[in-house]
Amino acid sequence: MTFTLQELADLCGGELYGDAAQKVTGAAALLEAAPGEVTFYADPRYMARLKKTRASAIFVPLDFSEKTAAAQIRVANPSKAFEQVVLKLAPKPITFAPGIHPTSVIAPTAKVGKGVSIQPHAVVESNANIGDDTVIGAGSYVGPETVIGEACLIYPNVTIRERTKIGARVIIHSGAVIGADGFGFEIVEGRYQKIPQIGIVQIDDDVEIGANTTIDRARFGRTWIQDGVKIDNLVQIAHNVIIGKNSIIAAQTGISGSTRVGENVKMAGQVGVIGHLIIGDDTVVAAQSGISKDLPGGAWFGSPAVPLADAKRQIALVHRLGRLFDRIKAIEKKLGL
């Protein structure tokens, strides 16, 4: 698909500074963009990349004043404008026709709604309930008495174990395991004995769960992922954890059992959280932080995590230790020590 720069500007409600008739046929990031492609610039940290780009046109903020070799389209939100163009240029989304593939295995007592697509070699166990317009990908497993709401997208090779409750418009990516046993053991007569994990996992509406993420069933009660939560790949969520509405959990984060995460919380990659903590609403936890106590909100970093401002000060002081050591040595030399 081809657009003129004027068509792009009109599409995004932008103001064009350049040749209105010039055409673009693709979109790419600043450093990867080639002639004939459009890119975007929204962060001053990437000015050096902007100066090196070979793109024919750039979405820039409304107050942008730098000169560029490429044409400029000034918009309120360059990232969003770029996204609109990418969607126009992208191939049509893959869709799955309703129907049950003959190689799938559907228990006689399972209920399958209207417009459902069940792909090759999927298994739907007894008394499971699949809502209208949901897709169950190839090789996926839906356990007994599990309920999946309408318009969900379960990618291939997902395991959803027994009695899981999933709301509407949930997306679960390949390799995810929902409802595995929680990690519960106790020592009996000198040996570890398994504690029965008889609770469930509940996932509310509009949640997205990344590839190879695991969400364990509760020891009793529920592990609960609330509305609008977005979970990245390779995340471990233990038994009886609650993740509040609209929180975001990035890759390789691990949250131990019975922790309560508030609403609108943001956890960056490789965060570790010990069990039975309470993390308040609107908390931000920086990458690789270790959480060992309740957090009331605000921004935190480090292991153990401290308020972000304190963490920055501590890091700055550590980086000055070398110079301080040199000064002490010089003073000792003058004093003859």
User: Rounded to 5, what percent of the chain is helix, strand, coil?
Assistant: 15, 30, 55
The token pair that represents 36 in the structure block: 């004939």
**DSSP H helical segments within 182-255, as ranges?**
none
Determine the Cα–Cα distance for residues 113 and 93; give it in Å rounded to an integer. 23
308 neighbors 300 (Cβ within 8 angstroms): yes
* Tokens representing residue 202 in the block: 């509940």
- Given a contact cutoff of 8 angstroms between Cβ atoms, the answer to whether 82 and 41 are in contact is no
Give me the residues paired with residue 180 across strands. Answer: 216
CA-atom Rg of the chain in angstroms: 26
What span, in angstroms and rounded, lies between the C-alpha atoms of 280 and 261?
Answer: 7
- Phi, psi (rounded to 5 degrees) for 127: 65, 15
The residues assigned a catalytic role are 239
Nearest Cα neighbor of 205 from 266, 265, 134 is 134
Q: Is the dihedral of CA 24, 81, 11, 88 positive or negative?
A: positive
